[in-house]
Structure 1
């Protein structure tokens, strides 16, 4: 009886272990995938990993290209025609007087405006004896501790057998497009530090073929780099005398344009004119007068 019970217990234990093993083996079992599905999954994973890698390669190539381009532009010659500069860009100046041309001034019985006096923003010298020499500018500037360097309006006017004066004016205001050049000398020339080689000195005024949009660079202007004369004959000849104002004929001048002139001795005639102007006094100086055209 005891032996039978032991056999039954052993049999029951074996049967329980078999059921338990079957239970776990059933849950852990999964069907094996087909070979085609495995290959497809591997291909998808490879494609996904290749996409970000391809973008990384393109990003590196673009970065290298930009670096090479920046280095090339940095070491390139600025004067090369392949490199664009700001001088080649010409933007029109805005019209500050919009609609004034449509005003009927005759109906308003308006009087013409008074003439405008304009001193040259550029007045410097060039020398035929030293073709590459650049004359100093703003030599009367002073330094004030409270505000810094202050530039004066004082400018020299010098004309002799080897030195010419270059002057530039900007035409100002609207409806003032009739201009005239003036050289005024005081009656007491010696007291005003004016040098004249003769009681009457003839000076030719040449119109220069210069840019009417930008002023000349006075820090590089020399006899060699000066603009050429526009015509074969001077625009005017002024007889300078103490106590008188020598004037040219009136000529058309476009609003906002920059006018350039050269003052020189007549060929073969020695002359000397030398003075400083302060940009204020109309009794001593070279300036331009604008008259109304409306």
Structure 2
């Protein structure tokens, strides 16, 4: 646009039409900026939502699935000794094998629903908290102890359960390495075999949930220096569960069963006992021996 004189140019700038065009341009600029800002915000929200969905899908797809088996009777236990029945039997008897209980736990008739952990004290190591090997044995008018064994070894089907409150020292109170404590009265114990078709879950074991009593094995009096034993047949891969309860109101028997007495390297499943070791081994505890049945 050209003007013939400066006066006409000034008139053109001051005219209403020119002012309206300028105002429209000023008005339209903020509108475009506002629209751009809303689009940016919307895009950011969409990105955040998509990222959250992807993270959830990723973590869900790789989450480990842990299955807890409560009914262990349904688990298959395959034969570990395939073909051994065709191997010639050894000419001599295999020495007996010492077994510690798979489970040694207490139940309380005064608190029938209370569950006592079989690892009341845990030891911290470099990896995690692990239960110690020591296990308590306690029999009182209220407390009973349940011991569970599993006979596994092939053709070692003559078993003997042994309960021994042995001590070292001339007097009953001088059991330095054996910490058995017996009450002053007649410590009489009833031994029951329990009807347990599968391993007991120590996390739910209580007086109320214990397996039913199948039969009474024996009744004996616990004394320092004398041990009680019971022999029975134990076919390969069978479970044997016993309950030790008080037969009178005077009974008090308690000890902490230490698997290091005697040294585990001397008499365990992995190192057979000699006959002399078998006869002289004494410590406070309830254990089971498996003896050879090759000639039976």
* Equivalent-residue separation in structure 2 for 1:168 and 1:239 (angstroms): 22
Structure 2: unaligned runs, 5 residues or longer: 1-68, 262-281
SS in 2 for 1:180: strand
Whether 1:174 and 2:160 are equivalent positions in the alignment is no
CA contact (8 A) 1:199 1:242 kept: no
- The count of corresponding residues between Structure 1 and Structure 2 is 200
SS in 2 for 1:230: strand
Whether 1:217 and 2:198 are equivalent positions in the alignment is no
Residue equivalent to 2:190: 204
* Equivalent-residue separation in structure 2 for 1:89 and 1:243 (angstroms): 40
* Equivalent-residue separation in structure 1 for 2:110 and 2:284 (angstroms): 28
| Cα offset, 1:252, TM superposition | 0.7
Structure 1 residues 170 and 251 mapped into 2: Cα distance closer, same or farther (>3 Å)? same
Q: TM-score, normalised by structure 1?
A: 0.63
Aligned with residue 279 of structure 1, among 241, 259, 266: 259
Whether 1:90 and 2:74 are equivalent positions in the alignment is yes
* Equivalent-residue separation in structure 2 for 1:243 and 1:137 (angstroms): 27
Residue equivalent to 2:212: 228
| Cα offset, 1:272, TM superposition | 0.4
CA contact (8 A) 2:188 2:246 kept: yes
Residue equivalent to 2:108: 127
Greater displacement, 186-195 / 221-230? 186-195
Per-residue displacement from partner, 1:161-209 (whole Å, max 9, x unpaired)?
1110011011121001111111122234533332111476221110001
* Equivalent-residue separation in structure 1 for 2:258 and 2:72 (angstroms): 35
Residue equivalent to 1:16: none
SS in 2 for 1:288: strand
CA contact (8 A) 2:189 2:245 kept: yes
The structure with the largest helix share of the pair is 1
Per-residue displacement from partner, 1:55-78 (whole Å, max 9, x unpaired)?
xxxxxxxxxxxxxxxxxxxxxxxx
SS in 2 for 1:101: helix
Residue equivalent to 1:5: none
* Equivalent-residue separation in structure 1 for 2:82 and 2:289 (angstroms): 24
SS in 2 for 1:135: coil
* Equivalent-residue separation in structure 2 for 1:177 and 1:272 (angstroms): 33
Structure 1 residues 237 and 89 mapped into 2: Cα distance closer, same or farther (>3 Å)? closer
CA contact (8 A) 1:238 1:247 kept: no
Q: CA RMSD in A?
A: 2.1
Q: TM-score, normalised by structure 2?
A: 0.62
Structure 1 residues 149 and 170 mapped into 2: Cα distance closer, same or farther (>3 Å)? same
Structure 1 residues 239 and 280 mapped into 2: Cα distance closer, same or farther (>3 Å)? farther
Residue equivalent to 1:183: 163
Per-residue displacement from partner, 1:94-113 (whole Å, max 9, x unpaired)?
222122222332xxx62111
* Equivalent-residue separation in structure 2 for 1:134 and 1:178 (angstroms): 33
Per-residue displacement from partner, 1:86-134 (whole Å, max 9, x unpaired)?
73873442222122222332xxx62111111111010111111111111
Residue equivalent to 1:147: 127
Structure 1: unaligned runs, 5 residues or longer: 1-84
> Looking at CA atoms only, which structure, 1 or 2, has the larger radius of gyration?
1
* Equivalent-residue separation in structure 1 for 2:100 and 2:192 (angstroms): 17
Aligned with residue 228 of structure 2, among 223, 230, 246: 246
